[in-house]
Amino acid sequence: MSRSDPAVIRIKPYHFIHILDNNKNVTRVEVGPQTFTRQDHEQLVSGPDAMIMVPPRHYCIIQNPVARDEKGHVVKDHLGQTKIRHGDEEIRFEQEPFALYPGEKLYGKVSPLQVVAPNTALRLRCIRDFKDDKGPRVAGDEWLFEGPGTYIPRVELQVVEIVKAIIIKPNQALRLRARKEFTDKSGVKRRAGEEWLVRDVGAYLPNVEEEVVQTISAYVLTDKKAIHLQATKTFTDVFGKERKAGEEWLVTIDDAETHIPDVYENVIGEVKITTLTSRQYAVILDPVGEDGKPQMGRRILKKGEATFFLRPGERLESGIQSVHVLDSDEALLLRARESFKDGDKSRSPGDRWMIYGPSDYVPPVEVEILEKRKAIALDENEGIYVRDLKTGRVRAVTGQTYMLSPYEELWEKDLPQVVEDLISKERQSGPEGRGPVTSPQPTKGRTKTRVVTYRTPHNAAVQIYDYKSKKARVIFGPELVMLGPDEHFTVLSLSGDKPKRPHVIKALHLFLGPDFMTDIVIVETADHARLSLKLSYNWSFEVNKETDSEKIFSVPDFVGDSCKAIASRVRGAVAAVSFDHFHKHSAEIIRRAVFGVDEGDKIRNRFAFSANNLVITNVDIQSVEPVDQRTRDALQKSVQLAIEITTKSQEASAKHEAERREQEARGRLERQKITDEAEAEKARKDLLELQAQSATVEASGQATAEARARAAAAAIEGEAAVKQAQLQAEANKIKAQSDLEQTKAKQDAEINHQKALNELEVNKARDLSSIEAKKFKDVVDAIGADTIKSIAQAGPEMQAKLLQGLGLKGFLITDGNSPINLFNTAGGLIGGVNQTQN
């Protein structure tokens, strides 16, 4: 027993204590109000503590509650100790305040009962088997306690979560998935994993067996938009149609204004409406039939004006096409895909025909448009190659406007690449360009179906060979060459460079000259001196255009052949003479070797080639250089020696001339020195005179400068005073003028103000007089002239009647204060009498 425990314990109302009986080792509860006297063998275990009070709509959880019998009494053992359900819990609701028995504990605190709001529910889970009003419950079962209501907790139940209802708006649906097999609210049995839609608008509270997948919004369909759907499995849609797995279809506004895709419907995308104007058409491939199945391989023509949706599997051939409008020079080449009746004509597959303008044309599905043709306008110097598809014959059409027939086509003429390059170069540089084609460029702009034309330059010739007739023709310029289908140019491959190399120059035309060519020839003299000769030859062709025109093309490389022939003659002639002789007579030796001599040992003036009528008319020796290094060194040494001798001679002459000029300069220098000394003495004399004058000026200049300075200062002060007085006078003048103008402006303002006030007064008086006059006029008009007359006559008439009643002819009433002119009165009376008598 603790000495600190009080012996007397006063227990307040609604309080309790726990007392341990040490003799029996039993703890009991004592409840107030009472004064408890503790015995020596008793011990206060806890308290006094307040009883547990559970107000209305509240509950509390008691851990390790006492055991009770069927009547609700506490069960005790044979020793008097209360029995406790260890590890158990008990929920107690509204009741009288109660005490905790030994071993009992309050878990948490007294809490209000949970109110479940509308459109919400509590998800409950059974944690131990029990039986309620709906039958037995097994641990692990879950269900919802839907609101509105008050949830009464049980120890067998656990609140898992608060479930809120999902609001399904118009044009929305809730996609649900079954957690396990059950029967939903609509009475439909659902399997685990099954999905379905809830389309009812309003609040929906998902069951515990239902899992919310997502909220699906409806697609709004218009007359210009539809949705493309695909079935993921076989099912019956909302329109009552059975859909097979993989089937695709459209939902348009004709079916519904809005559509919510079902769980077995996969939205492929939105389909825009296809609109055709009156000048458009479209061909639909693989159209969908009335039974909803695609008709593979079939084609349907749609003409405008029309609007339609492309069904799944349908596609447009070449998209939306415009009606073919043909001008008067246009036509359409058509080909039949299959047999059909074209008006009065029967068309077989593969038939070709043309529709000519002016017209418009929409091809039926049995017809294929191969191309749109236009009449080709050709000048006299233009043409095209046309091939007949039936015979294969190719011909050239020139100088007319030509429309191809159904079985004709343009034929492309291929030329060798070298010819293409030469024609391109001729177009870029003009027909007179003679430069070699060393780096060919690709052809630009040549249409292969056009007749190949080439402008033959002046004084040139072009050879054309016809491979079909195996004949050649030569055309002399200036002339326009037009190639036939089987004709080709003869390409000239000529030697070029220095010395000449074969196949350097490519050309289509051959110049007839006169012209020149240059070559470098290596020769060796009789004394074995090797020389390099640079020779230039003038040449031309002598040709008869009517008889031997083809002869000029008989030698493929006339440049190389002629240069070789001339070089061989020059080598033979130079080999027979010595270097010294050749050095002195090189021109004569070469001309004699090239042209030869006649019977009179006279050098001829031409060298003709009979094979192609080429004539060499002149030889020019441009340079002669030794090839051997020793010869070249010897010549260079002799030239240097000659130059050195000439240089030394010139140096000696220059040295002598320089010495002579130096002597003359030295004499002039001495004379100049003497003259300069005389001038210096004269200048010294002048300097001494100037120094004397400067000393005199310096003595008198100090006083003069001071006097001048004082005078200048006085003058400056006077001028400053005058200037200041002038400025002050101008300032006073400006100030007086400003005051005058300000006073004048003030007076003008006052005059204008008074004038305005006078005008306002005059206007006010005028307006008041007008108002009074108008008021008087209105009063007079309101009373009336007769009324005023009656008022004016009422007084005198009444007085006259009163006088007549008194017998008086007249009377005068005065107050004595106002004087009365009786003379005028009498006169008036007399006058009145006279007027009466008259």
Q: What is the pLDDT of residues 288-336, one digit of tens each?
A: 888 778 888 888 899 889 998 888 888 898 889 899 999 999 999 999 9
Q: State both tokens at 623.
A: 């340079």
Whether pLDDT at 624 is above 50:
yes
Model pTM score: 0.51
Which class for 537: exposed (0-12), middle (13-18), buried (19 or more C-beta within 10 A)? buried
Choose from 429-443, 697-711, 756-770 the range with maximum mean pLDDT.
Answer: 756-770
Whether pLDDT at 187 is above 80:
yes
Whether pLDDT at 817 is above 70:
no
What gap in Å lies between CA 248 and CA 231, rounded to an integer?
6
Average pLDDT over all residues of the chain: 85
Q: State both tokens at 734.
A: 């400006």
Residue 59 pLDDT level (bands cut at 50, 70, 90): very high
pLDDT tens-place string over residues 631-688 = 777 667 766 877 888 888 888 888 888 888 888 888 888 888 888 888 888 888 888 8
Q: How far is CA 744 from the centre of its chain?
A: 72
What gap in Å lies between CA 145 and CA 135, rounded to an integer?
15
State the pLDDT at residue 185.
84
Adjacent-strand bridge partners of 714: none
pLDDT tens-place string over residues 225-271 = 999 999 999 998 888 888 899 888 899 998 899 999 998 999 999 99
- Between the CA atoms of 746, 747, 751 and 757, what dihedral angle is there, to the nearest 10 degrees? 40
- Residue pair 175/213 in contact (Cβ under 8 Å)? The answer is yes
pLDDT tens-place string over residues 548-602 = 788 888 888 889 999 999 999 999 988 999 888 887 888 888 888 888 888 888 8
State the pLDDT at residue 548.
78
Q: State both tokens at 591.
A: 């001309």
Which residue has tokens 């070699």? 436
pLDDT tens-place string over residues 757-769 = 888 888 888 888 8
Q: Average pLDDT of 361-379?
A: 91
Q: Between β-strands 367-374 and 394-398, what pairing exists: parallel, antiparallel or unpaired?
A: unpaired
Adjacent-strand bridge partners of 597: 603
- Residue pair 519/499 in contact (Cβ under 8 Å)? The answer is yes
- Residue pair 437/506 in contact (Cβ under 8 Å)? The answer is yes
Residue 704 pLDDT level (bands cut at 50, 70, 90): confident
pLDDT tens-place string over residues 496-525 = 998 888 989 999 889 988 899 999 998 888
Which residue has tokens 């240069």? 563
Angle (nearest 5°) at CA 134 between 129 and 138: 20
CA atoms within 13 A on the CB side of 726: 6
State the pLDDT at residue 325.
92
What gap in Å lies between CA 27 and CA 43, rounded to an integer?
9
Angle (nearest 5°) at CA 158 between 155 and 163: 145
Q: State both tokens at 732.
A: 């006073």
Q: Average pLDDT of 804-827?
A: 59
What is the enclosing helix (H) or strand (E) of 473?
strand 471-476
State the pLDDT at residue 814.
59
State the pLDDT at residue 126.
92
Whether pLDDT at 530 is above 60:
yes
Adjacent-strand bridge partners of 90: 62
Which residue has tokens 């080909």? 335
Whether pLDDT at 836 is above 50:
no
- Residue pair 462/511 in contact (Cβ under 8 Å)? The answer is no
What gap in Å lies between CA 184 and CA 73, rounded to an integer?
45
Nearest CA to 384 out of 300, 317, 451 is that of 451
Residue 53 vs residue 446, higher pLDDT:
53
Q: Crossing angle of helices 785-806/629-783, nearest 10°?
A: 20
Whether pLDDT at 709 is above 60:
yes
**What length does the chain have?**
838
DSSP string, 176-236: EEESSSEE-TTS-EE-TT-EEEE--SEEE---TTEEEEEEEEPEEPBTTEEEEEEESS-EE
State the pLDDT at residue 827.
53
CA distances from 420 to 360, 414, 509 (A): 41, 9, 14
Q: Average pLDDT of 26-33?
A: 90
- Residue pair 411/433 in contact (Cβ under 8 Å)? The answer is no
pLDDT tens-place string over residues 377-411 = 999 889 999 999 999 999 999 999 999 999 999 99
Residue 4 pLDDT level (bands cut at 50, 70, 90): low
Q: Average pLDDT of 702-725?
A: 83
Percent share of the chain, pLDDT over 70: 92
